[in-house]
Each structure stands twice: as structure tokens, then as C-alpha cells.
Structure 1
């Protein structure tokens, strides 16, 4: 389809800026609901992106957007758990996703983002979204105070498109948030990641359970080891920027990997894919508003949270989905302000809860994931449920009730109505009123004896 030149414009029900997980999910749902939608993506897919470890609740979201079969066909690495090594004490434990509440999906995936993001974008297009790649949004168009469209560069020409709603899923570019000066930096979380991908990984060298993420912390930061293909592993070292400035990225990366013997073992003999380690700023930020006249802000365009708990893609996709549902409700007659407020309350609840979990890890438990898992109120069943993606737990859920009590960890200055109803598993989850005869915490955070790791790996429940 040829778009109109700059003298005229094409009208859509919605325009989505950005084709990452949030934007593609939003465009899919808008199209699935029978509305016209134009998605403008600046890059050409597939393209590299970091952020490969996913939480278990994401799989249910895959089912909600009718993409789970495509994910299975994609042959992505199934993630059945995470191992946590506390370097300062040598305490090694495994979080088994098989211990989530009955009725929940007991696994997740590690995703090669180049492949996954393209599958998701193609899914939106297959459903009816008009997708333009290498289309760069240059200007926001207003009708009075209402955002009414965009100007964008595509195939060497300038084009204009207008819509009832514009959804900003432009990631860190944050076109709408920056235009309205809504973005605020989070000074509590300012880390940097140095990472490398390794190919030709030898399975026998990995001391962990197949598919598990290897997580290791030490006094200066933490590391990830994520198998993103059967023979490819993503390895990253996260630290304060001040530490990175003490040396060059190559030396810092090697030094931090040397502090994690299990990750070092997993990549023994493997070949680095990048000429040198890449650096990614993990500086966190948030937007005070997620909606306004004619617009919604979703995904990293709205908030970016430290990646330690792997919930970023899940929250991005969920907010993209909920923005699409809000748009459909408005077209169906729901009051604009009510639909927008419901959307913003749900998203803010999710991100505020997620920030609190991250603060607890860094500031309350000093980057000791095992200590955190065993000592947060309520026992590890509620910790696992929170880690898995329930950031909307009921008022009396012990973990989030405790974290919400810390006023110094409030994310947003503007008040919002907290949502206590999980949009993924509204009825299937652990509850504070459940019997006290739950499996003891040790079975939820299994201690691993490194001397008998081979036997543990063979006996692990997958």
C-alpha cells in the first residue's frame, strides 16, 4: 500500500510508534479487535536486543495474544528455573518454577530477542496491522491539545498519518514522554551492564540444569548467564558505573566473570560473538503519566527498571496489551477518562511493585538473592509468585504488602489507585488465607551441594 504524500494523510484508528514487544503486542491486539492500526518501526527486523531472560507469567500472556504456538515452533530454550549463587558465602540454591501455584505455567523461556521480536512483529502484521519498518517518526502532530498523528520518514519521503490514538512504544527514545517532559530519572538505580554472547557452548561444561539461568552475585555487582540457544549463551556483568570507570570494559568483564566460577565453566571453550564486550546503561527512569489526550505510553517508553528480575519484557507486553484494550473500550463507548485511568492504574501498580522488589534486592538484602528469598515475609511461595510476575497481588499478600509499606520506595509522585487483581492469573495463585501447611521454604529454594552437582542436575524436576 502506497501512503499519501505530505499534502494529504491517511487516517487510522491508532498509530503505534515502535515495533518492539510492547508496540507489536499493542498493534496485534488493536488489529485483532477489528481496528485499523499503523505501526512505525525505525529499525529493520531482525535486529539485536539485550534482555533475554523471561518470567513464567509471560507464557500465559503468549496464550492471551494467540502466539504461544509460534513460540513453541520457534524452538526457544525452555527455562525451568534459576540458580542463585551468593559469591560472598558460597550459598548455591535453585528456584524451581515447578513450585508455582497449581494451574500456573511452571516454566518460561530464554529468548533470542532478534528472533523473538521479529516473530512478534510478524504476528501483528499477520493479524492485520500495517507495519512499516525503517520508518522514522520525526514529528508529533496535534489538534489543539490532543495528539492527533505523526510525521515520519519512509523510503526517502516524508509522510503524515493521523489517528484517534497514538501509542508511544518507542523504547528509551520516549518520543511522547520527552515531548511533555514526563520522564524522570530514578537516582536509586544507576547501574551499567557489560555483556558478551558466546557461541559453540559445550553443554557438558554447564554445571547448572539445562535451560536454567545462572545468576551470581558478589560484593561489586552481579552476573547473568542465559542460554539463549542450545549452543549460545548470553553473559553479562552488572555493576555501578563508578566501577566500570576504574578500567576498560574488557578488563572489567573478565574480572567479574572470574568471580563466577559456574558461569566461567559454562562458557569454557566457547567463542565470543562480539569483537569486544558491549556496554549498556541500566539507568532506570519512569514517566509520571502513561496517558493523555489522544495518547498512551507503554513499555520502555514509559518505564525502565533494572533487569535483575527479568520482568521488563513481560510488563512491556502487558501494558501494550492493556493500552489496546483501553482503545477498544473507548471505541465501544466507555468514557475516555475512565478507560485511560484504569489503564494507568494497572500499569503504575505493576511498575511500582517491580521497582520495590528491585530495591529490596539491592538495598535490603545487599544483592543476596538467596537471603532475600528465604527472609521476605510469608515464605518463599509468595516470593516465587512475585518473582514469577504477580505485581498486582492482593492487599494481604505478605511479600508485596511488606514492600508496599515502605513509603520511601514509592515510585510515582502523582497519586494513583493501586490495583489488587492480577491480570494474568486472577484466580490461580497462592493466597495469604491458604492453609499454613505449605511445603517448607527449602523445597521452594533448593540448596545445591556443588560437590554433587552432577547428581543434582540429573535428578532435577524439569
Structure 2
């Protein structure tokens, strides 16, 4: 037990992307960092289609080369179809400066890659550990931990970061949760042997499909580099009764209604159990407090439609690590101005686009017959994750999306 006790500069809950990037960034400054992870890696997770903006954050933390060397599927854009309508956005043709390409990743391997880099940089990671309580103490914050063997111990740090994702450890323990304003939806998804031979499908792009009769239903198809793919459907919660529906049959039935998607997946082998995720949209009362801050999904998650989750997670990790560094240097940073407000700039941009997707405005823009190339580049930038580039008029004033949709309907 004694070796588990101790004092660190920073404790991070969760070894996912936000936790590993924040921990590595702080370790790069010489801090003693401990990650407490409930599961063992590799482990399954969704959020497999990265956005190019993520590459910048990985590069800043010195973790990008390990990702590049992992052999993940190249990605250069996003394609959209509705029935047999089809269009795409090439992220290399965007308004914002920066990376125009990224990867589509099996998260089990991607997350372990990042965690391994964190350990190589001196971060201590303890797997199979569950945080059960937190307590402010004199000069720090103490975390109560239960090991998988059942023992309970305590560790103390100057600062605590929560990168627990959908586990949302600190929001639950500190009563920070609040209801999301986004609608309640459920996702059904799995991995398949895709056997795609359809020339219309571009493996360098995620394919997002709209149900031809119900625009609130949409699908993702994310190809991997090994001939497999992640496929899922997102439904309004009222359309799925978990008690009365067989999940694999339900997913396959919706895919059969997907127009071009059904044809692309005509030879797919569904060889992995179908999973569900519901009630994923979430929010919190505050992203930070005395000696703690929330990262990524532990703070707020919008919707999987634009694959923004990992990008927001990495942005939060980058901002938080820099702010913690200033705090540990005794500089008394303003967490609202230096962390919460900048992070929310991008979150709020993504939120407008998510809302626009479900109310039809963004779908009208995407499937418009003709597009102004300059404006398309601005939209492409946001879809590529550059939701913090305030030079972009659609970041500076996201409500412009409504005007653009009206013009596209003419």
C-alpha cells in the first residue's frame, strides 16, 4: 500500500487522448504526473475519425510522430450522401492555415499509442484504478482510489485534471452535471469487414449518410487501413426500443434503407457485436474549480456527427496543460479567460453546426447544387476542426449559417 501513496504535481483521471496529451505536455515541463485509468489498454472506444486540427495539438505535445508511424488510415476530407445525392469537402482546400490531412484510427490502438508515449516521457500510469472521492486539502487536492484488487488508497497533488471521458468522474463526484440542450439520441455501431469494391467510395474520407426519408437519422462509415471499418447509425431516442429490438438486425435494417450506403456495404461481413450509446450529449456547470479542471468529454460532449469529440478533447488538454503550468509557476492564471472562454469558442461553433445539421440548415448547405468555393472553404475549415480560427466568418459569427442556408435554398 505504501508505494501507492504519494504526492504528485498533477493527477490526471483517465489515459484517453485528453488525459495522455495533458499529462505528456506537463511532463515535458518537468512535472511529476500520475494518470489513474480505470480500464486496461488497449480497450475499445468510439470517436475514430480524427480532424486535421488534432494534428497540431499532437505535434505540440511531441506525440505526432508516434501516431504517424502507427500505420493508420489516411484521411483528407468528409463525404456526404443522401439517397444517391453525393458531395464532399476536401480538408486540404480550406480557409484556415494548418494541417489538411489526418487519420482514421482504431481507438484501442490510437489511445494506447498516446498512453505509451506519455509513459516514455515519465508519466506514471496506473491501470485498473477507480477514483471514488476527491477532497480539497491544505495546499492541494487528495484523491481516493480503489484498485482492482479492492484496496483503497489516497494520493495528493497540487492540481487535478479529469480526462475520464463519458465516465465523467468529477462531474458526478462534485455535482457539476447539467442537462444538455441537444436532443436525446442513441447510436448503434460496430466494426465490420467492409469488403468495399464500390468505386464511389473514397477510403480517404469519412462517409456521412443521411436517411433519405428522415433527415434526423444519419450514418457514419469510417474505413480503417486493414480492410475493416466502423459503421453506425444515430437515431432519435424514440425510434429505438432497446427492450424489443435485436441490435444487429436493427443496424442492418437501417443500413438497408441508406441508399448509396447500402450498395457500398453490399458485401460487408458483420462479425462483431453491435454496441449502443445513448444519452451521450452532456454539459457541466463549470469547466474548472479550485485546483481542478475538466477535459474533453468529461466537461461537454455535443454529438458524433462531425467527429469533433477528440479535437475538443485535445484542445482542452493543450489549453489546460498550459494554464496548469502557469499556475504551478505561481502566476495565478485566470481560468475563465485562459481556459474556459477560449475552449468554448470552438465548442459553441461546433454546437451551431450540430444544431444546423439536425434542423436541416447545414444539410441544405452541404447538398446545395452549386457552391461558392470561398464559402465552401470556410465551411470545410470548421468540418476539419478549425473551430477556433476567429478569422473565419463562420467561427466569428456562427449564426451566419442560417443566412447561408437560406441562400442555398433559392
- TM-score, length basis structure 2: 0.89
Contact 2:179/2:283, CA 8 A, preserved across alignment: yes
Contact 1:150/1:162, CA 8 A, preserved across alignment: yes
Over 3 Å counting, the alpha-carbon distance change for 1:341 and 1:139 in structure 2 is same
The structural deviation recorded for 1:348 is: 1.9
Contact 2:74/2:104, CA 8 A, preserved across alignment: yes
Unaligned runs of 5+ in 1: 408-441, 443-462
User: Secondary structure of 2:98's partner?
Assistant: coil
Give the match for residue 12 of structure 1.
8
Deviates more, 1:44-53 or 1:320-329: 320-329
Give the match for residue 435 of structure 1.
none
Match of 1:264 among 262, 265, 273: 262
Give the match for residue 186 of structure 1.
180
Alignment of 1:407-446 (within 5 A): none
Alignment of 1:177-256 (within 5 A): 177-199=171-193, 201-205=194-198, 207-218=200-211, 219=214, 220-245=216-241, 248=245, 249-256=247-254
Give the match for residue 324 of structure 2.
327
User: Secondary structure of 2:57's partner?
Assistant: helix
What is the CA–CA distance in structure 1 between the aligned matches of 2:275 and 2:365, rounded to whole Å? 25
Contact 1:86/1:369, CA 8 A, preserved across alignment: no
What is the CA–CA distance in structure 2 between the aligned matches of 1:373 and 1:101, rounded to whole Å? 21
The structural deviation recorded for 1:31 is: 0.7
Contact 2:163/2:295, CA 8 A, preserved across alignment: yes
User: Secondary structure of 2:398's partner?
Assistant: helix
CA deviation profile, 1:129-182 (whole Å, cap 9, x unmatched) = 1110111112112227x8612011225222210000011111122222223322
Give the match for residue 78 of structure 2.
82
Over 3 Å counting, the alpha-carbon distance change for 1:227 and 1:11 in structure 2 is same
Instruction: Say whether residues 1:150 and 2:149 are aligned partners.
Output: no
Alignment of 1:26-65 (within 5 A): 26-65=22-61
Contact 2:11/2:35, CA 8 A, preserved across alignment: yes
Contact 1:23/1:169, CA 8 A, preserved across alignment: yes
Instruction: Say whether residues 1:137 and 2:131 are aligned partners.
Output: yes
- TM-score, length basis structure 1: 0.80
Over 3 Å counting, the alpha-carbon distance change for 1:175 and 1:323 in structure 2 is same
Contact 2:57/2:318, CA 8 A, preserved across alignment: no
Instruction: Say whether residues 1:288 and 2:282 are aligned partners.
Output: no
User: Secondary structure of 1:194's partner?
Assistant: strand
Q: Structure 1: which 4+ aligned runs deviate by more than 4 Å?
A: 366-369, 372-378, 404-407
What is the CA–CA distance in structure 2 between the aligned matches of 1:15 and 1:291, rounded to whole Å? 15
What is the CA–CA distance in structure 1 between the aligned matches of 2:258 and 2:7, rounded to whole Å? 54
Task: Name the count of aligned residue pairs.
Answer: 397
Over 3 Å counting, the alpha-carbon distance change for 1:198 and 1:102 in structure 2 is same
Contact 1:42/1:136, CA 8 A, preserved across alignment: yes
Contact 1:171/1:301, CA 8 A, preserved across alignment: yes
